[in-house]
Chains A and B, each alone.
Chain A
Amino acid sequence: DIQMTQSPSSLSASVGDRVSITCRASQSISTYLNWYLQKPGKAPKLLIYAASSLQSGVPSRFSGSGSGTDFTLTISSLQPEDFGTYYCQQSYSDPGFGPGTKVDIK
């Protein structure tokens, strides 16, 4: 099985900050990597697919990069509604999720 890790596990940032979250796969997954945001009590929401493609309706402050084993989700200017837990997910083989990164707004 492909193992996914994320760092940091949590972070606090101020509105307007640039925030980056890293995801690493235990083997190469090309660009079969997606990012989701889950708010408390809600279902996850797809933000980025294929490592760098922005899902329809998602604000352009979100961007993704990477290929192979190392990936990054960047929020260019953090907004209050961006709090929640971010998950990466590989779809190279049977889907698997990273452990999540909890983002709090200072």
Chain B
Amino acid sequence: QVHLVQSGAEVKKPGASVKVSCKASGYTFTTYGISWVRQAPGQGLEWMGWVSAYNGNTNYARKVQGRVTMTTDTTTSTAYMELRSLRSDDTAIYYCARDTYSSTWYAFDYWGQGTLVTVSS
């Protein structure tokens, strides 16, 4: 069965960077993309961007463009999300999710367990 297992919680100071990993298993990694979605405490869900596990193509949300880099390592079936110049409002749970799609739809069918990133001085 499909599993996405994320790295552990992080505490960072403002201005620092964080890199969260998402290890996939149970499917052919390069067949699907990975999206990253975050959720600030008590708030809703915010899509941050997408990376293709097939060719590394990316598409980032305007809000984090310039501060985020999403990559994959096909040898270990792992996706990574690095966020730089951290601010207090980046404090959130960060989820990876598998993209599934056809010609007429696109959704996130499997999710990681989430990684809490706390930004605090």
Contact = CB atoms under 8 A, between A and B. Distances in A.
Interface stretch (A11-19, A20-28, A89-97): A89-97
Interface in A16-47: 31-32, 34, 36, 38, 43-46
Interface stretch (B8-16, B23-31, B44-52): B44-52
A43 B111 contact: yes
Nearest to B111: A43
Contacts of B108: 34, 36, 44, 46, 89, 95
Interface in B23-71: 35, 37, 44-47, 59, 61
B44 A87 contact: yes
Given A44-B45, A97-B44, A99-B44, A91 B106 contact: yes
Which 10 pairs show the lowest CB-CB distances between chains A and B?
A50-B105, A43-B111, A91-B106, A49-B107, A95-B47, A97-B45, A34-B107, A46-B109, A100-B44, A99-B44
Nearest to B4: A43
Interface of B: 35, 37, 44-47, 59, 61, 95, 97, 100-101, 104-109, 111-114
A44 B111 contact: yes
A7 interface: no
A39 to B, nearest CB: 12
- The SS class assigned to the B binding surface is strand
A55 interface: yes
19 contacts: A31-B104, A36-B45, A43-B95, A43-B97, A44-B37, A44-B108, A46-B108, A49-B100, A49-B105, A50-B104, A50-B107, A55-B107, A94-B47, A94-B59, A95-B47, A96-B47, A98-B44, A99-B44, A100-B45
Interface of A: 31-32, 34, 36, 38, 43-46, 49-50, 53, 55, 87, 89, 91, 94-100
Given A32-B105, A91-B106, A97 B46 contact: yes
B71 to A, nearest CB: 19
A53 B47 contact: no
B105 A53 contact: yes
